Amino acid sequence: MPNFSFTKRNDSDNSPNSQNVLPFSNEVQFEKMSTSKVFYKKKSLTEKSSLTIQTILFILVGVFAGFFLASLLRKSLLNCKTSGCCSDDDGTNARFFDSSQNSQIKIYNHIEPTKNLVFIGVMTAQKFLDTRAKTVFTTWGSKIPGKMSFFSRSGSTSLYDIPLVSLPGVDDAYPPQKKSFMMLKFMHDNYLDKFEWFMRVDDDVYIKPDNLELFLRSLNSSKPQFIGQAGLGNKDEFGLLSLDYDENFCMGGPGMIMSRETLKRVVPHISYCIKNLYSTHEDVEIGRCIRKFVNITCTWSYEMQHIFHHNASGNDAYTKELLSKEVLRAVSLHPIKRYEYQYRLHNFLNYRKIVDLRQRYLELKREVFKLKKELINIEKENNLNTKTSSTTTTTTTTLDNIEIESEFDNLIFNRNDNLSDDLISNRFNIPSSLSSVPDPKLRSDRYDFDFFTRSLFSSSYISPKRGLEGFWKKALAENIRQIMDEINLNSIERGRLIDFKDILYGYTRHHPLYGLDFVLDILLIYRKYEGRKMTVPVRRHAYLRNSYTKLMFREDNLESSIYFELPNKYRPVQNQTQAELNQENKSFFRSFLNFFQQVFNQSSITNSNFDTLNKNYTKIFDTNIEKVNMDRDLFAKNLIQLKTINFVLPLTGRWEIFNRFMLNYEQVCLQTKDNSKLVVVLFETKETKLIYDEESGHLLKQSEMINKLFDRLRKRYQISEDRLKLIIEEAKFSRSIGCELGAASFSQRDLIFFIDVDIYFTRDFLFRARLNTIEFKQVYYPIVFSEYDPDDPLEAIKILSDSTNGNSTAKIRDDHLNLNMDTGYWRQFGFGIVAVYNSDLRRVGGFDVRIVGWGKEDVDLYEKFVKSNLTIFRSIDPGLIHVFHKIECDPALAEEQMIMCLGSKSTSIASQQNLANLIFEKKAYMNVSKLENKPSTNSTVKSNDIFAAKVNQGINIKA
């Protein structure tokens, strides 16, 4: 249904009279019958009761009939409004509307005073309504200082609620001359007196609303104006467009703007312009028509190619680096052929706006701080002048404070506060200066400058020389841009222009409290074009600071991630009958409520309001809980805790490690009665080692030992068998097959958490897994903290290079929650631990069971989620710790899997700092390096030896 705006209508003449006709006539007949006393007395009691019942029924029927007639009358008025048979008092409703065309037209009858600047008509086609048009409306379209509509062929429809105008008698064929002229006529007939400016754009353009408003408010809309990037056609078309030497046209892609007066003068002649077309370009013909009947041409201005920027890169326009002078200065950017990049550009410009607002925030705080300081100084001077000699002690204290302020001119210190505390509390109020950072007394508290040319030379990294990363290059490019803008601010008045050439060298320092400092030696080109012309190279030093501001964040309610309606096509098949019944009841109930509220001129029932009325509607999880009076966040947290989290653990051997895992699971899940289940997929073959059972004194299979353990836990905590389940697979270990077998034991709607036996987890993590995993929407990939080898790094390297030491054991840390740079690292490139709903797993195709052995199956699944429309939520999680264990790489692994396995081995030895200390402190380390590089006949040993040599040389190999 299209959306319309209406003037308020008085229904008082319709509903009361129509509702009381039948009851009133029945009452009169009863009074006439009661005039005969004899007749009335002869009536039996049964006849009297039946008459009373009949009266009540007539009243009910009358009320319902009146209610129904009132609703029909209101509906007829609605249809009259949409079909164009009636109009508002101002006569501006859609005269273009063809009721036979099923069109969606949104007429803006009431315009706010702040939204009457510009009306933007976006010319599009049916095939782009649900992609480009929807993207435009959800990004910049809703922020413009006015209104907008999308214009398409007759009978166009969209799946989304966008302001769409289907032009009758118009198709989407190219060239769209008729569509463009009819769009102008629609603007003229409906909005001429409501907006000052009218803009025509394509659906592949991005407009910056703030810049557009500043630009338009600087112009006079009462005069004929035709504004845009002037064009004469490309080289092949030059001279073939029937344009005179003094004629041009505004390019339609970046947008053309007409004042109210221009539109008023040209629209009466549109029929003539359509009949007399000289080219296939609609923007050329609009320019010709305006030139003929308004006697103005498109603005001849060099600036317009920057204001209405057209990128000649075609499909690759605005798909690469966005930080450029053209992007930041323009009002409109064209073309963006791939609509996904509209969101990228929109996010970038919002980020730039945040940066500018934070900079303005800092400047205002510094200005307030400066004024406050001046007021305090004035007050202190007045106090000094009024003090007598009897207050010598107080005067000395005040003078001491003044001395401190003169030493640190930008700060104000309280009397008994610590100096460092004042420096920290006032750091946002300090104007940018390299000397404003306090000089600490301890060498360890000092933040040194790093030197860079083409490479970065740093004392704070293990590798003292490395290339400049991407974020450094972006930071330098942004700083250079701001420097050049500042230098050339008054270049026209000075008659000179300075261009950037290169950065010869520089120094940089990162201070966590203040920001990034730069000292740059810049090579510039000085060009003087007034007076004595010259072009000379010059060098200048620039001292910069990228200041930090206070941390700002937004906190959403917990309930925002669980109240998520399931689309109909994703509902489970087994509950389809009940779901259809709920949907039918819901639709009927909502239509009835909407019907009731429309009669009394109330707003319709929305989805969110209706969900509070119908609790049976399918949600992201199904649960039956009693209503309790509690805080909303606490209530939402309890709902999240009700989600069952299903562990899937592929396993082969490693009985002692499995016992440690089960102890962790018992403490976190069973003892706390957490809503969770565990499925262990055990790969067991004839070659699997038997385990000694201390109770029976016999050697048992691992599957038998696990069953005994599960029986003991079920009995201890009185839980059902499905809470602890064992699946036995008589095959060689394959993690992908194990995960698939475990997932197959759960239903489509279940939340599954794939875990390894080496993982130590906390209860806080379980809450985050439930919270961050949303069915049909989001999967959770936590970044695990991986422990280093607790052994001495030198011994660990020996074991790493010794392929025969396969039975080596490792120490276990007592405190797994001691997270720091010396105990472990965040496994940024590990994707084996994931929480996902089974339905989402099935949608992307699940694990690739063709991958056998160790590794690669997790990366393959992660790539499937990346290619899907699911959101990947990835964040470090302090509640997940990968407990260190010695890694053994199977010689039968494929080359790619072997490299990944060896990479995990190397990164788990020790931190880079500890490995670097071995080079300087332990000569035996170098001996080990020489010893392990001896040739070997065994191919597996040789690969490990070479890898150990690379580790010894400081080369880090990662997956």
- Torsion (CA) 910, 912, 918, 919 in degrees, nearest 10: 150
For residue 390, tell me if it sits in a domain: no
Question: What confidence tens digit (pLDDT) does each residue in 927-944 have?
Answer: 444 444 444 444 433 333
How far apart are alpha carbons 524 and 502 in whole angstroms? 7
Residue 44 has pLDDT above 50, yes or no: no
State the chain's mean pLDDT as an integer: 75
Lookup: tokens for 927: 């001996």
Using left for φ > 0, alpha for ψ between -120 and 50, and beta otherwise, residue 733 falls in: beta
**pLDDT higher than 60, residue 946:** no
The pLDDT of residue 417: 40
In this prediction, what percent of the chain has a pLDDT beyond 90? Answer: 34
pLDDT of 411 strictly over 70: no
How high is the pLDDT of residue 286? 92
Which pLDDT value is given to residue 50?
Answer: 57
- Interval 56-81 mean pLDDT: 70
Quote the percentage of the chain above a pLDDT of 70.
68
CATH number assigned to the domain comprising residue 195: 3.90.550.50
3-state secondary structure of 826: strand
Q: Which domain holds residue 180?
A: 118-352
Contact 510, 541 (CB under 8 A): no
Backbone angles phi, psi at 479, to 5 degrees: -65, -40
The whole-number pLDDT of residue 385 equals 78
How much of the chain is in helix, strand and coil states, percent to nearest 5? 45, 15, 40
Q: pLDDT category, 437, cuts 50, 70, 90?
A: low
Is there a domain that residue 247 lies in? Answer: yes
Please indicate, yes or no, whether residues 344 and 456 belong to a single structural domain of this protein. no
pLDDT of residue 566 exceeding 60, the answer is no
Four-point Cα dihedral 343, 349, 350, 351, nearest 10: 110
Q: What is the pTM for the complete model shown?
A: 0.60
Residue 681 lies in a domain: yes
- Model confidence at 59, in pLDDT bands (50, 70, 90)? confident
- Closest of 416, 417, 399 to residue 407, by C-alpha: 399
What is the arithmetic mean of pLDDT over 130-147? 92
| Helix pair angle (177-191, 282-293), 10° resolution | 50
Out of 332, 352, 372, a domain closes at 352
Residue 498 confidence class, pLDDT cut points 50, 70, 90? very high
Rounded mean pLDDT, 787-803: 64
Q: Could you tell me where the DSSP H helices lie in 844-894? A: 857-867
Please check whether residue 692 lies inside any domain of the structure.
yes
Residues contacting 841, CB < 8 A, separation 6+: 743, 752
Contacts for 189-192: CB closer than 8 Å, 24+ residues apart: 189/92, 189/95, 189/96, 190/92, 190/93, 190/94, 190/95, 190/96, 190/107, 191/92, 191/108, 191/119, 191/147, 192/260, 192/263, 192/264
Question: What's the rounded Cα separation, in Å, for the pair 664 and 658?
Answer: 10
pLDDT classification of 358: cutoffs 50, 70, 90: confident
Residues 915, 463: Cα–Cα separation, whole Å: 12
Under a CB-based contact definition with an 8 Å cutoff, are residues 785 and 881 in contact? yes
Q: Do 196 and 339 fall into the same domain?
A: yes
Residue 320 sits in the same domain as residue 456 = no
pLDDT higher than threshold 60 for residue 482: yes
E strands, 235-382, in order:
249-250, 256-259, 308-310, 332-334
The answer to which of 31-40, 49-58, 550-559 has the lowest mean pLDDT is 31-40
CATH number at residue 788: 3.90.550.10
Same domain, 150 and 290: yes
For residues 779 and 643, state if they share a domain.
yes
Question: 111 near 147, Cβ under 8 Å?
Answer: yes
| In the predicted structure, residue 463 carries a pLDDT above the cut 50 | yes
**C-alpha–C-alpha distance, residues 255 and 261, integer Å:** 18
Do 457 and 341 lie in one domain? The reply is no
- Using DSSP's 3-state secondary structure scheme, residue 606 falls into coil
In a domain, 233, yes or no: yes
Q: What's the pLDDT band for 89 if we cut at 50, 70, 90? A: very low
* 107 in any annotated domain: no
pLDDT on residue 10: 39
H helices of 164-208, in order, are: 177-191
- Whose CA is closest to 620, among 631, 636, 596? 636
> Pick the residue with more confidence: 436 or 649?
649
Please indicate, yes or no, whether residues 262 and 125 belong to a single structural domain of this protein. Answer: yes
pLDDT of residue 162: 92
**Distance between CA 724 and CA 711 in Å, rounded?**
9
Residue pLDDT, tens place only, 652-698: 988 999 999 999 999 999 999 999 999 999 999 888 889 888 888 88
pLDDT at 263: 94
What's residue 391's pLDDT? 45
Cβ–Cβ contacts within 10 Å for residue 190, how many? 21
pLDDT at 928: 44
Whether 559 is covered by a domain: the verdict is no
- Please report which confidence band the pLDDT of residue 183 belongs to, taking 50, 70 and 90 as the band edges: very high
Stretch among 240-244, 529-533, 759-763 having the lowest mean pLDDT: 240-244
CA distances (Å), origin 88, targets 2, 70, 80, 108 = 17, 21, 11, 12
Q: Which of 20-24, 585-589, 690-694 has the highest mean pLDDT?
A: 690-694
Residue 396 has pLDDT above 60, yes or no: no
pLDDT band at 624 (very low <50, low <70, confident <90, very high): very low
Q: What is the pLDDT of residue 416?
A: 37
Instruction: For 851-894, write each residue's pLDDT tens digit.
Output: 876 668 889 999 999 988 899 999 999 999 999 877 777 777 77
CB-CB neighbours of 700 under 10 Å = 16
Radius of gyration of the chain (CA): 38
Q: What is the DSSP letter of 774?
A: B
Residues linked to residue 516 through DSSP beta bridges, in sequence order: 510, 546
My answer on whether 902 and 769 are in the same domain is yes
Asked whether the predicted pLDDT for residue 909 surpasses 90, the reply is: no
- Residue linked to tokens 């206070």: 550
Place of tokens 């941390």: 551
Q: Is residue 18 part of a domain?
A: no
pLDDT score of 27 more than 90: no
Residue ending a domain, among 352, 374, 404, is 352
Mean pLDDT of 297-305: 87
Q: Which of 298, 325, 352 finishes a domain? A: 352
Amino acid making up residue 218: S
Q: Clarify whether residues 866 and 739 are in a common domain.
A: yes
Question: CA 591, CA 72: separation in Å to the nearest integer?
Answer: 14
Q: What is the pLDDT of residues 809-823, one digit of tens each?
A: 556 677 788 888 888
Report residue 863: phi and psi, to 5°: -65, -35
Of residues 316 and 583, more confidence is placed in 316
Residues 664 and 520 occupy one common structural domain: no
pLDDT above 60 for 584: no
pLDDT band at 445 (very low <50, low <70, confident <90, very high): low
Amino acid, res. 896: E
755 and 649 co-located in one domain: yes
Q: Give the count of beta carbons closer than 10 Å to the beta carbon of residue 793.
A: 19
503 pLDDT higher than 90? yes
Q: Which residue has the higher pLDDT, 911 or 218?
A: 218
Number of domains in the chain: 3
Residues 528, 664 within the same domain? no
